[in-house]
Amino acid sequence: MDDQPAIAAAAGAGPFAALYVLDDETPGAFGIGAAQRWWLHHSLERLGSEMEKRGGTLILRRGKSVDIVSEVAAHVNAGTIHATRHYEPWWQASERALGNKLVLHPADTLIPLEEIKTSSGEPYRIYSPFYRKLSSFPVDPPSEATHRLKAPARLPPSDELTAWNLLPSKPDWASGFSVWRPGEEEARSKLKSWKEKVASYAHQRDLPSLQGTSELSPFLHFGEISPRRIWHALAPVPGSEKFLKELAWRDFARSAVLADPKIGVKSQRSIDIAWRSGSSADADFEAWTRGETGYPIVDAGMRQLWKIGWMHNRVRMIAASFLVKHLLIDWRRGERWFWDTLVDADYGNNSLNWQWIAGTGVDSQPFNRIMAPIGQSRKFDAGDYIRRWVPELAALADDLIHDPPSEVAGYPQKLVGHLEARERALSARQHG
Ligand code: FAD
């Protein structure tokens, strides 16, 4: 409800129908993933009850969004349709298809991206000039939540949320997701506690054992808190600059999507890599998804992802790099796995970061910079993080835990040695 100018505009104009459409058709392969379905269920449940408390009703419908929005608009005889502007290519196409009845509101970015263009009028593809330009605009203050809603007399029918079966049942793999409480009340409370810690972000953000990041990503993705709300709460706090600069990466990822809508499926730079495929690559991929690569930092990250639908950023980088460079598996397979398992899966952020790691992005590290997982684990002091997520290794001392001896019971052998993997990756690049 907070900083949702579309809701505020609709409520300001009189009675209105609030509609959420679950559209698995329009996004194609980017339909909402399994972990996010769990989040969506709880988020809609809370949003529906918030709206009811304020006198409104949330209508739930499933199907192709353009058709359903048009149908509901006709049913309630709506003169205008208010929505938040999105940047995913399939939503942009849907927005165009709805024609001039649709009024789009900026709420998903710090600055409306239409304003952040290069001198030739194109969306930015390189972060530094993007951020310089973004910083030259003031971030608009967030709008306040609307407290009184009114539904029209004749509402169209709504689906039952439970009939959507968004929660897993057999098996219930989401029991570990109880660390999260979707919805804007929790988002506000996370922001409040983050305000006390944000000054340490610059020193702690890369240390997964300390968990020194905000954990706001799924709340941001689902619109439960707005980037402008976060910006205005934290900008006055001394030492928050590094965090705000990272928050702007989210806007940058959307700019990168505008510049190249196919960023999620197509390498931006053709670097001719002979990716591995076939049964041995498939077996390695599966071991990676299960957190059984024999590299503790990678395994800890992948198990954290499976258990709670989220992974620390530094570890995402290490685990993604391991898949692409050590296992020489196409970044798109990793992107798909993250898409299905992350509660914060986001087209721009996920695609941009995978391409950055793979060295295929426009503004990315080169492919032949190969992260050493054990070195990274030591450098960022990941011992306690590993103990938490890889219980087989919990008893190991700090000097062993990053690279355990081969006889630790129950822990797998390395899928591939670091130096061997490095050589293989470099030659795949040269001769591919
Ligand atoms: P904080 O460090 O507290 O940052 C605050 C916010 O800033 C984040 O919530 C996020 O919205 C934004 N942000 C921070 N870093 C980045 C970044 N590198 N790129 C874009 N936005 C950023 N983030 C997603 O939100 N969704 C994804 O699907 C996603 N996939 C990723 C895949 C890979 C391979 C990698 C390396 C990173 C990915 N990220 C993704 C970026 C980053 O890991 C997460 O945004 C971050 O870990 C979320 O935790 P946080 O909210 O505690 O972040």
Q: Is it the case that residue 209 has pLDDT exceeding 80?
A: yes
Average pLDDT over residues 258-266: 96
Greater model confidence, 170 or 315:
315
CA-closest residue to ligand 1 atom 17: 249
Pocket lining: 214 vs ligand 1, CB cutoff 6 Å: yes
CA-closest residue to ligand 1 atom 14: 246
CB atoms within 10 A of CB 118: 15
pLDDT at position 237: 98
Pocket lining: 320 vs ligand 1, CB cutoff 6 Å: yes
Interatomic CA distance for residues 223 and 246, integer angstroms: 18
Q: How far is the CA of 70 from the centre of ligand 1 (A)?
A: 34
Average pLDDT over residues 155-180: 96
CA-closest residue to ligand 1 atom 49: 215
Tokens matching residue 322: 């391991």
CA-closest residue to ligand 1 atom 23: 349
CA-closest residue to ligand 1 atom 44: 313
Which ligand 1 atom sits nearest the alpha carbon of residue 347? Answer: 28
Tally of helices (H runs) and strands (E runs) in the chain:
19, 4
pLDDT digits (tens, 9 = 90+) for 320-354: 999 999 999 999 999 999 999 999 999 999 999 99
Q: How far is the CA of 217 from the centre of ligand 1 (A)?
A: 6
Average pLDDT over residues 178-202: 98
Q: Is it the case that residue 298 has pLDDT exceeding 50?
A: yes
Tokens matching residue 157: 């029918």
- Calculate the CA 279 to chain-centre distance: 30
Average pLDDT over residues 17-29: 97
pLDDT band for position 429 (cuts 50, 70, 90): confident
pLDDT at position 431: 45
Average pLDDT over residues 242-262: 97
Beta carbons of 362 and 126 less than 8 angstroms apart:
yes
Percent of the chain surpassing pLDDT 90: 94
State the average pLDDT for the chain.
96
Percent of the chain surpassing pLDDT 70: 99
Helix boundaries (H) for 168-267 = 184-197, 201-204, 217-221, 227-234, 241-259
Provide the whole-model pTM: 0.98
pLDDT digits (tens, 9 = 90+) for 78-126: 999 999 999 999 999 999 999 999 999 999 999 999 999 999 999 999 9
Interatomic CA distance for residues 286 and 277, integer angstroms: 13
Pocket lining: 313 vs ligand 1, CB cutoff 6 Å: yes
pLDDT at position 430: 57
Q: How far is the CA of 274 from the centre of ligand 1 (A)?
A: 29
Pocket lining: 253 vs ligand 1, CB cutoff 6 Å: yes
Q: At what angle do helices 184-197 and 34-53 cross, to 10 degrees?
A: 110
Q: How far is the CA of 156 from the centre of ligand 1 (A)?
A: 38
pLDDT at position 432: 39
Q: Is it the case that residue 422 has pLDDT exceeding 90?
A: yes
Pocket lining: 247 vs ligand 1, CB cutoff 6 Å: yes
pLDDT at position 155: 93
Q: CA distances (Å), 61 to each of 46, 50, 70, 161, 286, in order?
A: 17, 18, 12, 9, 35
pLDDT band for position 271 (cuts 50, 70, 90): confident
Beta carbons of 158 and 58 less than 8 angstroms apart:
yes
Tokens matching residue 56: 């409104």
Show the CA angle centred on residue 95, arms to residues 89 and 99, nearest 5°. 140
